[in-house]
Structure 1
Amino acid sequence: MKVLSIGTDRKLFDEKSAVFTRQNEYAKKMDELHVLVFTLKKEGCVYKKEGNLFIYPTNSISQWFYVLDAYFLGRKIIKTNSFSKNSVISTQDAFQTGFVGAVFAWYFSLPLQVQVHTDFLSPYFKGFFNSIRKIISWFVLKNASQIRVVSEPIKTSIESKYPKLKPIIKILPVFVDVERIENLVTNKEQLTPSSLPFKNNIFMYSRLTKEKRFDIALNVIKKVTNTYPDSGLVIFGVGPEENNIKKMAKELGIDNRVVFKGWMDNIDILALFYRQSDIFLLTSEYEGYGMTLIEAGASGCPIVTTNVGIAQTGLFKDGFNSYVCPVGDTDCLGERLKDLITNEEKRKSFSDNMRDSIKEVVISKEDYVDRYIGLLEELTKNA
């Protein structure tokens, strides 16, 4: 089986990254895996080959040329490598990458798998460009052979919005190496006091973007520190909202209660922060899955989250293994944080109960790879 995957993750060009390792595992189960990545020329990404894994940058001069550059490069890849009936097109989303994939699927008569990692039908998924993305998604989804979603809530929202949609919708969550995290958190290594500088350390790990609602997080921290001044927020993340978040923290008078750590994708180090932080906080207005929630839960860090992504499923039981608040509800988030700060027994209960809940649904890396490949193989059999 030959697969052309179209996506946007630049970390694929870093051989030490988790995403490169994962794609390499997939490639070992295929004849060839060609990954086309939307990149800008100024980013300096170069073609990479590892065994039967081939990674191509578009090296576009502007993001406005991603689709056109991907079309010409992808067409060349398909023709040069003799894609035939036993071949599949897979796209990372139902937007720009999905549009390119849909064109290839139609032009070369190949099956198309569209992956949906974002809850794009959420009422909070708004704005001009997101409105355009929604229009594109309808064209892409109706031309797909299979739709792979990462959570039951996304499947439900698509079926509700498009009841006559023909493609089969399959659920395969984002992979989280829970076994590795559990092994890491048994490590007795401790972080330095400067790494977690507060008595009550509230941890967030996320891209610094608008939909993550750091404005809500900061207002919540303001409420918490008014009552418990020795508490603070530790943030791992980078993104376009970083300066705005820092400015808001200063305006609220809590800039000395908020620490920015930059980006980190080393799970060995992150596991220490998850394990030694007092509470993990997520304030997003929408999530496709919410991988950090599973990472935090597997690490034993008590969770306070908005009702998004996987927190909308039966895995998260409010008051039993986590606190789940309505999106945007600063009062709920603030009160739940305060409750956990003052209640060590409840923190321990949440930690133990969430770990037990995750163990009931987790699958091994090997099983995950087999399921991922199995979805693609279904398309070649039905082609």
Structure 2
Amino acid sequence: MEKDLKILMISSDRNILTPGSAVSERMKEYGGLVEELHIVLLCDSSHTSSLKIENGKLKIAEGVYVYPTNSSMKILRPLDAARIGKRIVLKNKFVRGECVVTTQDPFECGWAGLNVKKKWRIPLEVQLHTNPFSPYFGGFQNRVRQFFARTVLASADNIRVVSENLRHNIENLLKIENSKLKILPIYVDKDQIENGQISFDLHARYPWHFILLAASRITPEKNLSMALRVLALVRERYPSTGLVIAGSGSEEKVLKSLVEKLGLAGFVEFVGWQSELASFYKTANAFIQTSFYEGYGLALVEAGLSGLPVVTTPVGIATELENGKDAYIFPHDRPDMFAARLLSKEDYMAKIRDNWEKTALKIKP
């Protein structure tokens, strides 16, 4: 980034509004690298009612401003973001060649960014953290988002993807010029993860000898029902095995019903979304990721850097890892293969842990 560059960012990450959060601190760091950083945040008024908003913006650092859309309805957020973004460019005298619009995604944020680009003819950079064209990216809302994504990505000047696998998929599917696609993995603070302090031990909280950890949103594409089936298979041989799920989402009620159906009551713990996972990563016995698709897979990387052996489906960054060396990688419809590897426990799993120092160097941006 350049100090004389003005950036208009369009985001939906409301953690930007939380003082001291990792996202807020990262925005401050970005702001220190450029002349000005203006962030349009898609949200409603309930997210900003306790904040001191002056003239439609909140200053979080020198040269860093957040402009909440405070939309009356969710469907209006992209429209409000585009309107606010156009006004920011005009009011703050953005000059072509010395400014850029960057959006968190090619969906609602991307649509707003594209409208700003068309109005003022300034470059548009789109960030892509997941594969919106995966067959598992289902549901009516996501179908609408696919339509947005095709239009936005085709019009973007640069597209930032988080993995080689995602770059390859997007390039082949949309026939986008290779020069427009840039691989920039999600930033991972290796030192902070490795040196993270343990505040509790999962083995002190739960009576299980072997503890599996899953950390993700509880949504259909995460395929956590398979993690439950893996647990059921492992417990046939090792009854003192349990699963901790750190996350929240629309599928939680469905999964809790499946827990009862599979006879896993008392061996699965839903702990909700966690802002700090160091104690989970460092006191569990293995990390399990069963997703149908991932853009990157930050939790997997954090788990590996914490010394936790990983078993995963071939998604996101896992496609760039070596099966049997960096992680154990199996198809999303083979809980038996996951279970068989977990049953080997100490001998094979220890080898994965030992390889992660080299793996970290390979995948760290």
Q: When the two structures are superposed, what TM-score results if normalisation uses the length of structure 1?
A: 0.88
Match of 2:65 in 1: 54
Asked whether 1:295 is paired with 2:302, we answer: yes
8 Å contact 2:211–2:244 — kept in the other structure?
A: yes
CA distance in 2, matches of 1:62, 1:256: 41
Say if 1:260 and 1:197 are closer, same or farther in 2 by CA, change over 3 A: farther
Q: How big is each residue's C-alpha offset from its partner over 1:256-311, in whole Å with a ceiling of 9 and x where there is no partner?
A: 10012121122xxx222212110000011000000011101101100000110000
8 Å contact 2:101–2:122 — kept in the other structure?
A: yes
Asked whether 1:308 is paired with 2:315, we answer: yes
Asked whether 1:275 is paired with 2:282, we answer: yes
Match of 2:322 in 1: 317
SS of equivalent residue, structure 1 residue 256: coil
Counterpart amino acid of 1:350? I
Which of 249, 253, 256 aligns to 2:263? It is 253
Task: Give the % identical residues.
Answer: 37
Which of 15, 19, 43 aligns to 1:39? It is 43
Match of 1:233 in 2: 243
8 Å contact 1:204–1:236 — kept in the other structure?
A: yes
Which of 328, 331, 339 aligns to 1:334? It is 339
Greater relative contact order structure (CA < 8 Å, 6+ sep): 1
SS of equivalent residue, structure 1 residue 259: strand
1:6 deviates by 0.6
8 Å contact 1:196–1:234 — kept in the other structure?
A: no
Match of 2:91 in 1: 80
Which of 70, 77, 81 aligns to 2:81? It is 70
CA distance in 2, matches of 1:135, 1:289: 22
CA RMSD of aligned residues (A): 1.8
Which of 159, 175, 182 aligns to 1:147? It is 159
Q: How big is each residue's C-alpha offset from its partner over 1:117-167, in whole Å with a ceiling of 9 and x where there is no partner?
A: 011222222232222222211111121111110000111011111225486
Asked whether 1:17 is paired with 2:21, we answer: yes
Is 2-11 or 59-68 further displaced after alignment? Answer: 59-68
CA distance in 2, matches of 1:190, 1:42: 34
Q: How do residues 208-247 of structure 1 correspond to structure 2 at under 5 angstroms?
A: 208-247=218-257
Asked whether 1:198 is paired with 2:208, we answer: yes
Is 256-265 or 40-49 further displaced after alignment? Answer: 40-49
Counterpart amino acid of 1:61? S
Counterpart amino acid of 2:208? F
1:334 deviates by 2.0
8 Å contact 1:236–1:264 — kept in the other structure?
A: yes
8 Å contact 1:285–1:328 — kept in the other structure?
A: no
CA distance in 2, matches of 1:243, 1:355: 38
Match of 1:122 in 2: 134
Say if 1:164 and 1:258 are closer, same or farther in 2 by CA, change over 3 A: closer
Counterpart amino acid of 1:311? A
Say if 1:53 and 1:93 are closer, same or farther in 2 by CA, change over 3 A: same
Q: When the two structures are superposed, what TM-score results if normalisation uses the length of structure 2?
A: 0.92
Match of 1:367 in 2: none
Say if 1:54 and 1:160 are closer, same or farther in 2 by CA, change over 3 A: same
Q: How big is each residue's C-alpha offset from its partner over 1:5-48, in whole Å with a ceiling of 9 and x where there is no partner?
A: 11111111111211111111111001111111111223336443
Say if 1:207 and 1:192 are closer, same or farther in 2 by CA, change over 3 A: closer
1:223 deviates by 1.4
1:72 deviates by 1.9
Which of 113, 127, 136 aligns to 1:101? It is 113
CA distance in 2, matches of 1:252, 1:323: 25
CA distance in 2, matches of 1:43, 1:195: 34
Q: How big is each residue's C-alpha offset from its partner over 1:321-347, in whole Å with a ceiling of 9 and x where there is no partner?
A: 31101123222222222222xxx1322
1:197 deviates by 3.6
1:243 deviates by 2.0
8 Å contact 2:154–2:174 — kept in the other structure?
A: no
> Which consecutive unaligned segments of at least 5 residues does structure 1 have?
364-383
Say if 1:152 and 1:196 are closer, same or farther in 2 by CA, change over 3 A: farther
8 Å contact 1:142–1:167 — kept in the other structure?
A: no
Say if 1:175 and 1:197 are closer, same or farther in 2 by CA, change over 3 A: farther
8 Å contact 1:142–1:166 — kept in the other structure?
A: no
> Which consecutive unaligned segments of at least 5 residues does structure 2 have?
none
